[in-house]
Amino acid sequence: MDEFTEYIASLDGPVRDAVEHVRARALELVPDAEEGMSYGMAALRYRGSPLVSARATAKHIGLYPFSPPAIDALAPDLAGFSTSKGTIRFAPDDPLPDGVLDRLILFRRDEIDAMRAR
């Protein structure tokens, strides 16, 4: 099933473009990722674990790497963005820079690989 693609198709304009950008970057960096569900939201999954999701709200887009350590590791690069234990919030007109987004996705991929190697 293409849960993430279907979710993105339900969005409009700049919000849709911003969420699609997250999905596209993740698939470019982790081509083995597959669409699915995690924690009740459309997401990309890698090796059976949630990799990343992005979800639009009324006030922002939430980026979910499903990894508090990933957010902690990139904290210096996330200055200016609202974060919590599991979420990075951004506006469609002020997205995460690609370099930060890429490092976040690759951190999570590597975290999953390490977990599966045990």
Q: Looking at residue 80, which CATH number applies to its domain?
A: 3.90.1150.200
Q: Give the pLDDT confidence of 55-84 residue by residue, as tens digits.
A: 999 999 999 999 999 999 999 999 999 999
Provide the residue range defining the domain that includes 70.
3-117
Cα 66 to Cα 11, 42, 45: the distances in Å are 22, 12, 10
Q: Give the pLDDT confidence of 35-59 residue by residue, as tens digits.
A: 999 999 999 999 999 999 999 999 9
Closest CA to 52 of 78, 83, 30: 30
Structural domain total, the chain: 1
Cα gap 49→55, rounded to integer Å: 18
- Which pTM does this prediction carry? 0.94
Q: At CB < 8 A and 24+ separation, what contacts does 81-85 make?
A: none
Given a contact cutoff of 8 angstroms between Cβ atoms, the answer to whether 75 and 84 are in contact is no
